[in-house]
Chain A
């Protein structure tokens, strides 16, 4: 196989959903798989932006909690109940999404906004006034 193919295979593996296997915190109260959503993080001077791929999650299914400085996003996926069909082939598997982010104290907690569109969760985390860069004017004595 050429290096190009190897690269592509590697990417394909990366592209697979990462399933939560280690249960470091607590047991889940719902049966079923839980996946880690892929996320992009952007940072500007004013805010942090998290975009997470959570296909199949409705707005009612999103649960965002902020405890101390731990931000947890949870997306509940409804299992499609289709009568009369047999599964022929499965690649992605249906399951919930869960991911934990550690926030610094620089985030303005009250200003956090979350929206979901087409299965992508968009979290806007504004930085607190304290953390914003401040220019100090120098005056001549």
Chain B
């Protein structure tokens, strides 16, 4: 009786194992197929590589940045981060807030340029030596985050290093946007180590861009 029970237990284990193996195989093949699709897409656009953009709509907590950084203050990495760091030392910000900005440690942030047209916002960032698969761009209504990892060249080993000036490791950086954007239409591309993100302004924001004429009395 006891041995029978044992057998039953073994059977059950085997079955579970099989299910796991099948699931693994399906997952792997899907993954490969997915990467193939992505690869072929990349090849069709030889000039610049597309980087997928995650659009997070209705992320309410991001707006908390606004009190410290009005929308006209684009970027401002060092200033912003050091202010936050000082507050952090005082234990000023709640823990949930920390998670938002701490990833953007300003030691390793990519340098950025921002420009603006009537209909679009444009961000360029220097990210030399980073593959598009190691880059993650996410856009919400009023915030852009660039995350990435710069890996060491696989052909070299650290022990042979004689001089090291370049940065390796992970980085992340968030930017407040000056207006509401259409996050789902945002596009990012990578070319020669420069990441370009183009985000169309929302219809409402474009309407708001109305200049007033100032009359003299």
- B-side contacts of A40, CB under 8 Å: 161, 163-166
- B-side contacts of A85, CB under 8 Å: 115-117, 120, 122
- A-side contacts of B122, CB under 8 Å: 82, 85
Q: Is the CB of B115 within 8 A of A55?
A: no
Determine which of B85, B115, B161, B194 lies in contact with A86 in the assembled complex, contact meaning CB atoms within 8 Å.
Answer: B115
Determine which of A8, A38, A58, A84 lies in contact with B165 in the assembled complex, contact meaning CB atoms within 8 Å.
Answer: A38
Contacts of A1-50 to chain B: CB distance below 8 A: 1-2, 5, 8-9, 11-12, 15-17, 38-44, 49
Residues in chain A within 8 A of chain B (CB atoms): 1-2, 5, 8-9, 11-12, 15-17, 38-44, 49, 51, 53-58, 80, 82, 84-94, 116-120, 122
Given A42-B161, A55-B127, A92-B111, A86–B117 Cβ distance below 8 Å?
Answer: yes
Bound-state Cα–Cα, A1 to B90, Å = 11
- A-side contacts of B126, CB under 8 Å: 53, 55-56, 92, 119
- By secondary structure, the A interface counts as mixed
Say if the beta carbon of B39 comes within 8 Å of chain A: no
Q: Is the CB of B117 within 8 A of A118?
A: no
Say if the beta carbon of B78 comes within 8 Å of chain A: yes
Stretch at the interface among B19-27, B56-64, B95-103, B128-136: B128-136
- B-side contacts of A2, CB under 8 Å: 89
Residue of A at shortest CB range from B110? A92
Residue of B at shortest CB range from A61? B192
Bound-state Cα–Cα, A40 to B167, Å = 9
Determine which of B82, B107, B193 lies in contact with A120 in the assembled complex, contact meaning CB atoms within 8 Å.
Answer: B193
Q: Is the CB of A89 within 8 A of B113?
A: yes
Stretch at the interface among B29-37, B69-77, B138-146: B69-77
Interface size class of B (residues with CB under 8 A): 35 or more
Bound-state Cα–Cα, A53 to B193, Å = 9
Given A1-B86, A84-B118, A87-B115, A53–B75 Cβ distance below 8 Å?
Answer: no
- A-side contacts of B43, CB under 8 Å: none
Given A12-B106, A91-B75, A118-B128, A55–B160 Cβ distance below 8 Å?
Answer: no
- A-side contacts of B77, CB under 8 Å: 91
- B-side contacts of A120, CB under 8 Å: 128-129, 193
- If A15-B107, A92-B113 are given as contacts, then 8 extra A-B residue pairs at C-beta distance below 8 Å, sorted by A number, are A11-B107, A12-B106, A41-B163, A42-B160, A43-B160, A51-B129, A53-B128, A119-B193
Residue of A at shortest CB range from B193? A119
Residue of B at shortest CB range from A17? B111
Say if the beta carbon of B11 comes within 8 Å of chain A: no
Q: Is the CB of B117 within 8 A of A49?
A: no
Bound-state Cα–Cα, A41 to B105, Å = 26
